[in-house]
């Protein structure tokens, strides 16, 4: 997620792909590959952003907290996009930057905010250079390439024997759900909105049916597919249902998707990385073309996410037969001050 979105001449929202697609890998073999090295990189995320949220979940599931440091930006952006204004003196304590844009400029001095400043981003701590903002590849690599730094009992999130199926599920989820809510919310013509709305709920209906008799999207434990769907589902009723006009029904009104989402939320690494305060403040206060008053809604009640889901009756286990949960977090990731009255 980067700067304020806009629609093209047809009235359709267009998402720009990542512009920096270097990778951090265990055995680098070219100029666009960086070595896996504990303490070398800083992961910059917004707790509001579903794309960044994925990387936060994987970092936690894999137990990479000691290997990769974490920076959390303010959910509210200004003209220079994501900023470190939640940190003391408005400076990231490691990178010494006020804006994530500075890491982009260190990598490419010609890169301006208009070209996009997005999270998640991996930044080299010693140089302040942006390494990659390739959000789909970041999570895959965190789950595979960083294996030597993973905690005992970490899950296999992208198992080779399931990759074709995971990729197929992810493709539809990306276009119709992850990006679909944005295509509905930022459409500027009725026909474009209706196309996105129709595709979104057709895909959600398909997923709801898929989950009727299986606990997870692919296989019998959590995979990359579940992580990618979850970060949209957890924002659905709080933001997308009303703010983006995705209002045929709430997530809480789906027979199987709602218990499935609660099952994930109650799994360590998922719900403990969700911050509804950051999420709602970002969408309702930044998207002034949709919500000019910037009023942030109080609901829905987050305690509903803790209701029993009974999904364990379908079998399977979150982390696989040999896996274990990550250690509990101590307190919120990044609290915010009260809203201005």
Active site residues: 49, 182
Phi and psi, residue 116, nearest 5°:
105, 130
Find out whether 44 and 222 touch, Cβ atoms under 8 Å: no
Name the residue with tokens 């218990």.
259
Place of tokens 């910037």: 294
Crossing angle of helices 50-62 and 135-144, rounded to 10°: 0
> What's the CA gap between 317 and 88, in Å, rounded?
41
10 Å Cβ neighbour count for 306?
11
Handedness of CA 73, 78, 234, 8 (dihedral sign): negative
State the DSSP H helix or E strand holding residue 35, giving kind and residue range, or none if neither: strand 33-35
Distance CA 290, CA 285 (A): 10
| Other beta carbons within 10 Å of 332 | 12
Residues in Cβ contact with 101 at an 8 Å cutoff, skipping those fewer than 6 apart: 80, 81, 82, 113, 117
Length of the chain as a residue count: 341
Measured distance CA(78)–CA(141) in Å, rounded = 31
If DSSP codes are grouped into helix, strand and coil, which group holds residue 131? Answer: strand
Beta carbons of 303 and 262 less than 8 angstroms apart: no
């Amino acid at each position: 997620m980067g700067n304020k979105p806009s629609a093209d001449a047809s009235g359709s929202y267009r998402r720009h792909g990542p512009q920096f697609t270097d990778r951090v890998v265990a055995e680098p073999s070219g100029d666009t590959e960086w070595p896996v090295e504990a303490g070398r990189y800083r992961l910059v995320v917004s707790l509001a952003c579903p794309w960044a949220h994925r990387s936060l979940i994987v970092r936690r599931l894999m137990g990479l907290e000691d290997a990769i440091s974490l920076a959390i930006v303010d959910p509210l952006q200004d003209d220079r996009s994501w900023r470190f204004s939640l940190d003391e003196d408005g400076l990231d304590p490691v990178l010494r930057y006020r804006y994530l844009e500075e890491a982009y400029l260190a990598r490419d001095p010609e890169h301006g905010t208009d070209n996009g400043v997005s999270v998640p981003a991996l930044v080299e701590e010693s140089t302040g250079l942006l390494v990659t903002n390739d959000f789909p590849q970041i999570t895959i690599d965190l789950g595979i390439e960083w294996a030597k730094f993973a905690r005992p009992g970490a899950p296999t999130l992208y198992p080779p024997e399931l990759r074709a199926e995971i990729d197929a599920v992810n493709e539809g989820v990306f276009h119709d759900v992850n990006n679909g809510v944005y295509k509905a919310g930022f459409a500027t013509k009725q026909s474009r909105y209706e196309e996105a709305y129709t595709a979104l709920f057709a895909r959600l209906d398909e997923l709801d049916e898929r989950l009727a008799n299986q606990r997870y999207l692919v296989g019998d434990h959590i995979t990359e597919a579940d992580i990618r769907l979850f970060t949209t589902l957890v924002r659905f009723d709080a933001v997308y249902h009303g703010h983006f006009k995705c209002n045929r029904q709430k997530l809480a009104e789906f027979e199987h998707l709602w218990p499935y989402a609660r099952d994930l939320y109650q799994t360590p690494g998922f719900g403990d990385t969700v911050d509804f305060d950051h999420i709602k403040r970002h969408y309702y206060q930044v998207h002034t073309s949709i919500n000019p008053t910037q009023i942030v809604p109080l609901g829905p009640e987050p305690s509903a996410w803790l209701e029993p889901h009974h999904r364990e009756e379908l079998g399977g286990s979150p982390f696989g037969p040999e896996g274990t949960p990550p250690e509990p977090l101590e307190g919120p990731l990044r609290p915010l001050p009260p809203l201005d009255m």
